[in-house]
Structure 1
Amino acid sequence: MNSDLPIPQGNYVPAKRHGSLIVTSGMTPRREGVLILTGNVSSATPLEDYREAVELACGNALNAANAQLRQGERIAAVLSLSVFIAADPDFTAHSKLADFASDYLRDRLGPQGVGARAAVGVATLPGNAPVEIQLIATV
């Protein structure tokens, strides 16, 4: 198994391909199966403090998508990016936090790495993760 691939935390696969579409499972900021950050995102904490977690979750999703590529293929575009944020009730900077994921994808894939996006606040996420990211890409 590729060590860059996220380790599923349940009965699912990291990504699934159908034709030229790749859909990833929701990815949390886990390195070798272990969360690097837990707890809700708070408005009292600088957004920058969450950048590493968001980028790791996004990187896990991109690695899962890349694992579905065949020889000579590449991700042509990210069509959709969903960023779920376990946020305290007073947190309102969802879009700014999700920008860390959009920037990460743009830096790695160019302009085609930025697609449609949803930034959604939720009460909890698996394992008490602060963020979970899911993407849909085309080959």
Structure 2
Amino acid sequence: MAEIKTRPTDVSVDAFLDGVAHPARRADGITVRALMERVTGEPATMWGPSIVGFGSYHYRYASGHEGDMCRVGFSPRSANLVLYVGGFPEFEALLEKLGKHRRSKACLYLNKLADVDADVLEEIVRRTYAATEGVDHCTVC
């Protein structure tokens, strides 16, 4: 079985965010980190080489594959700010109020934070974090 690369590391979140080349993406990453720390009460931790995550939960797919992942997280990538959120019943309704974004099954892509409603984003983070409490299966995969 392949080794899971997305796991907590000892890499400094500050150093990672300071190293983001795009100034606006770096600033948005710092802002999202503060939001997620405040909402979750968890410290930021690097998950793999590029995900800033908060908390953890164990998941198990129907196939039997299992592992651990952050309860909420983000990655300030070159093209977009990627948020790892969702998996709760009201997610679609909140996305309609969020503002400019794209999404995939398990990721939310933002060009910049200024494009979205900060209160709605905070509610999405809060509900995602709550939805992963005691989870033993992936609800967004």
Q: TM-score if structure 1 supplies the norm length?
A: 0.27
Q: TM-score if structure 2 supplies the norm length?
A: 0.27
Higher relative contact order (CA 8 A, sep 6+): 1
